[in-house]
Amino acid sequence: MTLAIAMAQINPTVGALSANSELILANVNRAKELGADLIVFPEMALTGYPVEDLALRQTFQVASKTAIENLAAQINGSITAVVGYLDNDGAGPLNAVAIIENGRIKARYIKCHLPNYGVFDEYRNFIAGSEPLVFEVNGHKIGVAICEDIWQFGGPVAELAKLGVQLVVVPNGSPYERNKDDLRLKLVKQRAKDFGAALAYVNMVGGQDELVFDGDSILVDQAGTILARTQQFVEELVVIDLFEPKPQISEPLTDAAEIYGALVLGLRDYINKNGFKSVVLGLSGGIDSALVAAIAVDALGPDRVHGVALPSKYSSEHSLADAKELANRLGLNFRIIEIEPMVKEFIKNVGLSGVAEENVQARVRGTTLMGISNQEGHLVLATGNKSELAVGYSTLYGDAVGAFAPIKDVYKTEVWQLAKWRNSSGAVIPENSISKEPSAELRPGQKDSDSLPDYLLLDQLLVKYVDQDAGAAGLLAAGFAPDLINRVIGLVDRAEYKRRQYPPGPKVSMRAFGKDRRLPITSRWKEQN
């Protein structure tokens, strides 16, 4: 007999049980129309994922169990559904999937391997399962695993290979990071061979706080041959017969397209899922704010994006001209507010000079943007990049102000690369913003290079120290000069308190600041080279 499998790559919202149920049912009905025998949804599709400490709330556990029972009652006819949800059997919260057939829950499976690294802390929120599950559709034996179950192979999941399954379905909540699609494909192919069975890897899509799920769902046969692969960063329903396949394979995106797509989706879902109507950001004429503006317009449309130029007496004419040109090309809402009168009065009344005086300009800009936010209801976007965040090259309550930071996990050199990539499909960012030397323009003739190493060199060191966790000795072995190592490490370590006060933003690297990289603010440990 045939077995038509539907992979439902959907974008649920955490806590939205009714809306998620409707989304699941819509996909079930569509899959039935397309002749599917089996439909597989992502990990915890009913509740959204990750639920974090919501999993510990008894009221939410009860609501999830009620919702899955109500959902099951509405799934009838010739289709079996695999739906992720939150359960509790009395021992504690469970990351579970329900096997739904003919209006009832036929069986359930509990996730066995709980990730406890990087952004994951599932031992805090769930009790691990201990039993494999095999069920049948059209006489075909099907095993179940959930996400980490195939990344950490062994235990009950590995037993599926001994039970003669023909297919393993794997609901996933696997967040995006650079090059992870290549790792997933390699993993899926290998696990299909390990199981001796076809494998359907169904991943979530959408933004959830600082995480972005990119989809990239994959179906392979027992030899690891790709039968279906979905697009990244979009919802998609793919139906394919396992035994009479007509391959449906979407090509993966380029690195730049992946990262940009993650940033756009992360921002869009953060704004829309949290009910914000629009965003506002400062437009300096520089590359960072230009890229953030482009991302915002691509995510929300120009009518929902408000750009504000906030020139001081040190702002160059070309910076204001570049900001105007950017706003014109993107079609966003634009205004100019001169900050010099406010800065002058502040300094006169408080009596500041030097760096403190420079920072007043940044803080007046931040206060102005927050005032506009309060008055008009826009969410403020911070425009700082990962290089600046790493070394503390920002002003608290100034350019660090905001509620969301779209490029906080993007190094400065990557900002330039993404800007050039975005312009390849339509020149929206002025060339001068890309080519000119970076400057905060807080004093006459100021350049970033006055305070920081060249960004190309700086980012190379930061990737090793921040993303790869290399120590001073490792950096020295990599060829970096001792003075540079000591200087940059000192800047990074001293800036931890600043990073704790920075807004959230989408994770796109292997190790983002925040949940990925957790270091104490108060620490006397110093790396020695």
Task: Name the residues annotated as catalytic.
Answer: 43, 111, 147
How far apart CA 306 and CA 297 sit, in angstroms, is 10
Q: Are 30 and 237 in contact (CB under 8 A)?
A: yes
Helix, strand or coil, per DSSP, at residue 115: coil
Q: Which residues contact 218 (CB under 8 A, 6 or more apart)?
A: 184, 185, 188, 199, 200, 201, 226, 228, 229, 230
Q: Are 214 and 242 in contact (CB under 8 A)?
A: no
Tokens 């800009």 appear where?
Answer: 365
Amino acid at 116: N
Rounded (5°) CA angle 412-418-420: 110
The string of DSSP codes covering 59-102 is: HHHHHHHHHHHHHHHT--SS-EEEEEEEEE-SSSEEEEEEEEET
Q: Which residues of 291-315 are buried (b: 16+ CB within 10 A; e: fewer)?
A: bbbbbbbbbbebebbbbbbbbbebb
> CB 174: neighbour CB atoms within 10 A?
26
How is residue 517 annotated by DSSP?
A: B
Helices within 202-285 (DSSP H only)? 255-273
- The backbone torsions φ and ψ at residue 85, rounded to the nearest 5 degrees and listed phi first, read -160, 175
How is residue 272 annotated by DSSP?
A: H
How far apart CA 286 and CA 5 sit, in angstroms, is 49
How far apart CA 426 and CA 50 sit, in angstroms, is 36
Helix, strand or coil, per DSSP, at residue 160: helix
How far apart CA 198 and CA 225 sit, in angstroms, is 9
How far apart CA 261 and CA 355 sit, in angstroms, is 37
| Segments of 138-223 assigned E as strands | 140-144, 167-172, 198-203, 205-208, 211-214, 218-220
Q: Are 11 and 204 in contact (CB under 8 A)?
A: yes
